[in-house]
Amino acid sequence: MFLDGATVGFDTVNNKAVFIDQTLLPNEYKEVLTDDYNEIYDAIKLLKVRGAPAIGVFTGISLAVLMNKSKADTYENLFAELKDYCEKLVLCRPTAVNLKWATDEMLKVAEISCEENFKENLNNKALEMIEDDIAICRKIGEYGAKILENCSSILTHCNAGRLATVKYGTALAPVYVAKEKGCDIKVFADETRPLLQGARLTAFELCDAGVDTTVICDNMASFVMKNGLVDAVLVGCDRVALNGDIANKIGTNGVAILAKHYNIPFYVCMPFSTFDKNIKTGDDIVIEMREGSEIGEMWYEKTMIPQNAKILNPAFDITDHSLITAFITEKGVFTPDEIKKYI
């Protein structure tokens, strides 16, 4: 095993990008080592690697791996090849800003490189992305653990845990840090239709870490909230607009509306790199639309939707900033109004 508790990695000795195939969890743990462009593209597209920060770091590692194999013999050709990979990969998943962030970062490094240090600089940048992600998530965990000091249970949606980052996660990092400090927080995990990131991934990693975990169907969130079982909601996010609106896994907006109704604080945990300075409000965020088969067929032996019925499968929704109590970031905890000043 190469990853040793991480979700993605860079095997620099054998020049491979390494990831856990998350489509096989929770039944099978499989690490995949690859230097193949098509396999990398499919890993992101098919959610073998998923979660905004993990997608970003994996993209950085993959670009370094692909360029290490390049036979281009001039700076111009190296740069053109990198740009081509970036332009193709960035289309894989349009909502998470981290994919674009990672391709931009690698292109910036390439711009200030020359033919001699081109590959080495990309390798160093990819390794830096891994270390930065771990440090940032740890910080989010520390700030979040303070917020949770008087909470005994939280609800989370999708998976914004260690499987969505290199380590720790964003929304689950506070739970892990609190546990290290001897404070056990119970977690309600929304199953998260249609791809079951909550049931399959959040429950897998929390149970693995010894956290008291209860999976509920998405339509049960109001039940646990109304019955006083949830002290706070913590979610991750894929993109933040300048006004503080966020895009996150489909269903997040509904959870935020419920939390407001039941007077439960709703926290969004994310690194500052999730801000998109080019986007004014959530209305401008592109929502990824996915295949209907994920809803009607994927988890069933026989199709569960009549052939004539149409299927709509948006992968994300927008939560209005007015529903967000605060952002928990690596730089501290900020209300939507405060955070604007730091962008």
Q: Is there a catalytic annotation at residue 238? A: yes
144 binds ligand MRU (CB under 6 A): no
- Read off the DSSP letter of residue 284: G
Choose which of 249, 264, 268, 323 interacts with ligand MRU (CB under 6 A): 249
Residue 284's Cβ-count burial label (10 Å; 0-12, 13-18, 19+) is middle
Taking the mean position of all CA atoms in its chain, how far away is CA 175? 17
Token pair, residue 165, equals 């980052």
User: CA-CA distance, 282 to 152, in Å (whole number)?
Assistant: 32
62 binds ligand MRU (CB under 6 A): no
248 binds ligand MRU (CB under 6 A): yes
50 binds ligand MRU (CB under 6 A): yes
User: CA-CA distance, 244 to 247, in Å (whole number)?
Assistant: 10
Residue type, 217: C
Q: Binding marks (x or -) toward ligand MRU, 185..214, rule CB under 6 A?
A: ------------x-----------------
Choose the binding region for ligand MRU from 8-16, 37-45, 68-76, 165-173 (rule: CB under 6 A): 165-173
244 binds ligand MRU (CB under 6 A): no
Q: How far is the CB of 95 from ligand MRU (least distance, A)?
A: 8
- Among 168, 323, 163, which Cα is nearest to 257's? 323
Choose the binding region for ligand MRU from 33-41, 74-82, 231-239, 300-308 (rule: CB under 6 A): 231-239
236 binds ligand MRU (CB under 6 A): yes
Intra-chain end-to-end CA distance of the chain, in Å:
39
Kind plus residue range of the DSSP H or E element containing 213 = strand 213-216
Question: Which residue is at the shortest CB distance from ligand MRU?
Answer: 236
Maximum CA extent, the chain: 66
Q: What part of residues 299-338 is at the interface with ligand MRU (CB under 6 A)?
A: 315
164 binds ligand MRU (CB under 6 A): yes
Choose the binding region for ligand MRU from 45-53, 143-151, 298-306, 323-331 (rule: CB under 6 A): 45-53
Give 287 or 305: the residue with its C-beta nearer to ligand MRU: 287
Per 3-state DSSP, what percentage of the chain is helix, strand, and coil (rounded to 5)?
A: 45, 15, 40
316 to each of 90, 94, 155, 244, 296, how far by Cα in Å?
17, 10, 18, 16, 18
Token pair, residue 32, equals 């995949």
- Among 286, 330, 2, which Cα is nearest to 169's? 330
165 binds ligand MRU (CB under 6 A): yes
Q: How far is the CB of 337 from ligand MRU (least distance, A)?
A: 22
Torsion angle defined by CA atoms of residues 185, 190, 191 and 197, in that order, rounded to the nearest 10 degrees: -70
Count of all residues that appear for the chain in the document: 343
Q: Which residue among the candidates 133, 190, 238, 276 is catalytic per the annotation?
A: 238
Give 58 or 85: the residue with its C-beta nearer to ligand MRU: 58
Work out the number of other CB atoms within 10 angstroms of the CB of residue 25. 19
- Binding residues for ligand MRU, rule CB under 6 A, total 19
Choose which of 6, 17, 25, 53 interacts with ligand MRU (CB under 6 A): 53
Q: How far is the CB of 315 from ligand MRU (least distance, A)?
A: 5
Q: 316 in helix, strand or coil?
A: strand
Catalytically active residues, by annotation: 238
Contacts with ligand MRU, residue ranges (CB under 6 A): 47, 50-53, 96, 158, 160, 164-165, 169-170, 197, 236-238, 248-249, 315
